[in-house]
Amino acid sequence: MLKNDTLIRALKREPTPYTPVWIMRQAGRYLPEYNQARTRAGNFLALCKNPDLATEVTLQPLARFALDAAILFSDILTIPDAMGLGLYFVEGEGPKFERPLRDEWEIRNLFAPDPEHLRYVLDALKQVRRALANEVPLIGFAGSPFTLACYMVEGGASADLRTVKTMLYSRPELLHHILDVNCRAITAYLNAQIEAGAQAIMIFDTWGGMLSTDAYREFSLNYLQRVVAGLKRKHGAETVPNIVFTKGGGLWLEEIAAIGCDALGIDWTVDIGAARKRVGDRVVLQGNLDPAVLFAHPKAIREQARRVLAAFGDGGGHVFNLGHGVSQFTPPEHVGALVDAVHELSRAYH
């Protein structure tokens, strides 16, 4: 039994004494101990692929802050790496692929890797579960089919997604093939994470908000729904809730809420009170403090946290988080101030 099951209860819409809080990218470059571990690993990818170091890094923020969950330290691009696209990272530029998907024959030959090809992730999950000793739940995750496709076609991050959008409009059948393979790969990978010990699942649709409404429905939402429908909902006696987050998806909250997910992540551009009225009781809402708030004085952080809590209002169905990942330039003590403020101030709403 979890000693702190507040997050799982909130995701199941059960009463909680306060609003649980965890932070996207909570194990990351803003922590000096993370940077030390990354230096020992040699590079980011080596850190991801070393279960001992991945476990150490996953646990680092929990040693500092009273967070209500751990999220596995890994990367969304482990799947296309296992597909043979040659993932590497350039300091200051981010992820790159040696063999991006440009030619039709490469796309037609794409395969969904067996989760065993990602054994290092599953081994890290098992190690983290043992190390947590049921103190807090462990969140597993993956990128969405469309977000992975963006990196796989562009060859890295892109400001305008020009290459993948050209494919979307000129050869949509090729993009659909990539998305279908990604969908099957992600579903199998997340179910393997659940078998390995993940107690909640998050799907990151980082680039879905770059699409038009019609394109979002066809090329992102449709595949998100397929992944959610294929997820294991139970592992042993545990119910395993899931969270879907489309950055920039504020236009489509009702449609995302209808795909069968348990919780809907929202970014900081959305008013969480208005979002609650729009989706009603269909899903739990996760979010949605602007990550830049954490650059401010702790008094300002406390006030902005209070505003988010007040906007959501009374009752359950809220998981506090940032509207996107914590910045590498954030002072660690400001994260602590946020976590403490949420725990203290949210009790008035429960």
- Residue 41 is predicted with a pLDDT of 96
Is the model's pLDDT at 119 over the cut of 80? yes
Is the model's pLDDT at 80 over the cut of 90? yes
Is the model's pLDDT at 348 over the cut of 90? yes
- What average pLDDT score do residues 269-287 get? 97
Residue positions counted in the chain: 350
Is the model's pLDDT at 260 over the cut of 90? yes
Phi, psi (deg, nearest 5) at residue 88 = -150, 165
56, 36 Cβ separation under 8 angstroms: no
86, 97 Cβ separation under 8 angstroms: yes
**Exposure class string for 32-50: b at 16+ Cβ within 10 A, else e:** eebeebbeebeebbebbbb
- Residue 94 is predicted with a pLDDT of 87
- What average pLDDT score do residues 238-267 get? 98
- pLDDT, tens digit, for every residue of 40-73? 999 999 999 999 999 999 999 999 999 999 999 9
The fraction of the chain above a pLDDT of 90, given in percent, is 97
- Residue 201 is predicted with a pLDDT of 98
216, 176 Cβ separation under 8 angstroms: no
- pLDDT, tens digit, for every residue of 184-232? 999 999 999 999 999 999 999 999 999 999 999 999 999 999 999 999 9
194 burial (CB, 10 Å; 0-12 / 13-18 / 19+) is buried
- Collapsed DSSP state (helix, strand, coil) of residue 265: strand
Active site residues: 25, 29, 38, 75, 151
Mean pLDDT of the chain: 97
260, 244 Cβ separation under 8 angstroms: no
Q: State how far the Cα of 339 lies from the Cα of 349, in Å rounded to an integer.
A: 16
DSSP of 20-70:
-B--TT-SSTTSHHHHHHHHHHSSHHHHHT-HHHHHHHHHHHHHHS--S-E
Q: State how far the Cα of 53 lies from the Cα of 51, in Å rounded to an integer.
A: 6
pLDDT band at 321 (very low <50, low <70, confident <90, very high): very high
Calculate the alpha carbon distances from 147 to 109, 152, 216, 249 in Å: 20, 9, 11, 13
Q: Work out the angle between the directed axes of helices 51-64 and 32-41 (0-180°, nearest 10).
A: 170
- What average pLDDT score do residues 331-336 get? 98
- pLDDT, tens digit, for every residue of 279-289? 999 999 999 99
- What average pLDDT score do residues 300-328 get? 97
- What average pLDDT score do residues 311-324 get? 97
159 burial (CB, 10 Å; 0-12 / 13-18 / 19+) is exposed
pTM here is: 0.97
- Residue 91 is predicted with a pLDDT of 79
Q: Work out the angle between the directed axes of helices 332-345 and 51-64 (0-180°, nearest 10).
A: 60
- Per DSSP, 19 falls in state -
Least Cα distance to 118 among 157, 81, 90, 158 occurs for 81
Is the model's pLDDT at 92 over the cut of 80? no
- Tell me the residue type at 266: I
| C-alpha angle 45-48-336 in degrees, rounded to nearest 5 | 115
Least Cα distance to 61 among 19, 31, 20, 36 occurs for 31
Least Cα distance to 125 among 111, 110, 142 occurs for 142
